[in-house]
Structure 1
């Protein structure tokens, strides 16, 4: 088995089922009925999307736009959504484990807008005792006032979009502040914020050197950060960077050897002393610190209730897409899809317990799965032990391809003709 193109995100598997199963559209009343029932005992996430940034990264064309006016109406809309859905049994009778604000940049709100949203959450949502409450953020739009507000309302995790500590890298990504100022502001944030501070790093920008990623990893350790997400640069069509490439102003090195070397160097440097470990394909955490419950809940069959324009998630078998304030799409996933989603979610982690796989798969699926595992073992992507499947170094690098390959082969092998 050999992969020619590397998938860099778990989202690359998301569209696979549509090839095999025509989407079954549902009406909103089906979701309302579901929310009115006694809630199931599964991990529960609320994902809140803020599709606005005050500064756009050079590579980005995600579901966001540059802020050009007030966010008063959008903040009111988000607060009202918590008020609206918080009245159902789904939220009244069982606490939520995780709240995750993504974007865009959720800290782009003014402090009074942020407080309005957080106050609505406090009034309408019960959180579990060991909840995780994350806001994605940048350094330049955080203020002491916003930090104090987040502390007061129980936000306990920040994910900071650093992308690179290198001054050259930060210029490339259109990030604010050079290296020294970035480090100083992170230290100040750690002093003032009551929760865990985590960062994102993006590697494989043009002309990036091995020493650059090694330095990024060392800086993470020196700052004693809770975790770091690390992704290979993905150039989105329509971004400023993609246009530069078309105009031959920027030439990305489409070189898997370099990408792998940068990836492996970062992982090895950060985990070499044993304080940090590979939690997930793109996440390295400090032992005993960041739990990253958000991705665990999503990958292990939990619910993700979406709020905000551009948000997506699910309640049980109902998949939900929030396209506009007053427009959502609801699609049903059958039992087969749900189980295989759970299976491929497991392979976002470097070690997969066999007993969990056996609980998910039916007998005919197990036979097909065993054939896939043998192929992956033959390619030196997986090591099998008595109780687990463990990804090798190459397996981690190709992890999203492996997850997608398992899904495609299992669907094709077991789909009823």
Structure 2
């Protein structure tokens, strides 16, 4: 292993990073064939109150990790969190604020899927203080939605965005996939154009990938050829740019001031607590220790009285931290200031010196001495770039 990457020169952290909270709600109406998230078909009657009680107990057990920091953002993901009633989410948010507190300008995001949208329900969500929606549209083409196993059609996708606006949400993300089975570039651009006509502040636009432990992995669909995928990518990025959406991360595009603060915290190697079935967290300690942890995965186990919520934890070693930090930071198109590396890892920048120089020589990493950022070429070969910071035997 590269000597520089395994030095024992980690220092105490002068300041702990911002702290966010991820809340996982694991149920969906139906499991999609491409989905590798910890999601499960919802029972006929959701155990809302029992699950909220479990989440708040989970948070209470995590409070020592917060080290007195208020939350800067909350992301309620899944699954389909919009299956939960406004009453259940009010109980959850009230309980979170009573236990840990948050900054006055906190960003609170709720993931929602078309097909679960009702005007009164989403107006009530907004009144709770939820101020950002991430809508899982995926496509506006009903045929493609059916192939993806989605429970909504194209008309419902359109109505979802309209209901969100009418409910008072000003910060909306539309989640859209491309490279779908049998999709042409024209169809992909039609999807994207329709999304832009709805005028969201943020678009997550990414290629469908086939992941292990999914139905598509065992029964793969026919996906477009590489040349077609490249055409879609180039045309789509040009279309987004022409409408004022700046790409600030591999698959995230936003108008000014509409970037996802919660996700930016991930990519800048900030801290986050994770509560809920299968949730993950990452926390830093003042003495320089940085750890990742994860919770019990199966909802029934998570809800069982007396069953520990924590399933495992891992301290990150000095040799792992460069890769862990850069795996996040280099997803940002502008990268991060070089000083953030030492600030968030406790390691001196010198531990990156050899691999950094090699990456610059190969044209994968920016030569700007003040930033750690992938070049445009490096963004295309991000995995190759990151491997250079794993060290060699």
Q: Give distance in 2, aligned partners of 1:153 and 1:396.
A: 39
Selected match of 2:143 from 144, 168, 179 = 168
Give the distance between the partners of 2:252 and 2:180, measured in 1 at CA: 19
Q: Aligned ranges for residues 126-275 of structure 1 at < 5 Å?
A: 126-245=101-220, 250-253=221-224, 255-273=225-243, 275=244
Give deviations 1:226-273, integer Å, cap 9, x for gaps: 11112211223343334443xxxx3234x3322222122211111124
Hey, what does 1:70 align to over in structure 2? 46
Is residue 2:281 matched to residue 1:313?
A: yes
Distance across 2 between alignment mates of 1:351 and 1:412: 24
C-alpha separation between the residues in 2 aligned to 1:220 and 1:41?
A: 38
Q: Comparing 98-107 with 180-189, which one deviates more in the overlay? A: 180-189
* Superposition TM-score, scaled by structure 1 size: 0.78
Structure 1 pair 268–75 and aligned structure 2 pair: CA distance change class (3 A): same
> 265, 271, 280: which one pairs with 1:303?
271
> Do 1:136 and 1:161's aligned partners in 2 also have CA atoms closer than 8 Å?
yes
1:122 aligns with 2:92: no
Partner SS for 2:200: coil
Cα distance, 1:82–1:386 mapped onto 2, change above 3 Å: closer
Q: Which whole-Å CA distance do the structure 2 matches of 1:238 and 1:386 have between them?
A: 42
Deviations 1:43-79 (A, max 9, x none): 1111111121112223123211101242232222113
Q: 1: CA distance between counterparts of 2:238 and 2:52?
A: 42
Whole-Å separation in 2 of the counterparts to 1:356 and 1:125:
29
User: Secondary structure, in 3 states, of the residue corresponding to 1:373?
Assistant: helix
The 1:343/1:238 distance shift into structure 2, 3 A limit, reads: closer
For 1:132-178, what per-residue CA distance to the aligned partner results, in whole angstroms no more than 9, with x for missing partners? 11111102113334323322221111111111122222222122343
Partner of residue 262, structure 2: 294
Q: Can you give the 5+ residue segments of structure 1 that lack an aligned partner in the other structure?
A: 1-19, 22-37
Count of paired positions? 362
Match of 1:329 in 2: 312
Counterpart of 1:365 in structure 2 is 352
Report the Cα distance in structure 1 between the residues aligned to 2:22 and 2:187, rounded to whole angstroms: 33
SS of residue matched to 1:208: coil
Out of 268, 276, 287, the position equivalent to 2:245 is: 276
SS of alignment partner, residue 176 of structure 1: coil
User: In the alignment, which residue of structure 2 is the partner of 1:58?
Assistant: 33
SS at match of 1:411: coil
Instruction: Report the Cα distance in structure 2 between the residues aligned to 1:281 and 1:96, rounded to whole angstroms.
Output: 26
Confirm or deny: 8 A CA contact 1:58 1:240 kept in the other structure. yes
CA drift of 1:353 comes to: 4.8
**Which runs of no fewer than 5 residues in structure 2 stay unpaired?**
7-12, 285-289, 303-307
Tell me how far 1:319 sits from its aligned partner: 1.2
Q: 2:29·2:42 contact (CA, 8 Å) conserved in 1?
A: yes
- SS of residue matched to 1:257: helix
Greater shift, 327-336 or 219-228, is seen at 327-336
Question: Contact 1:115/1:149 (CA < 8 Å) preserved in 2?
Answer: no
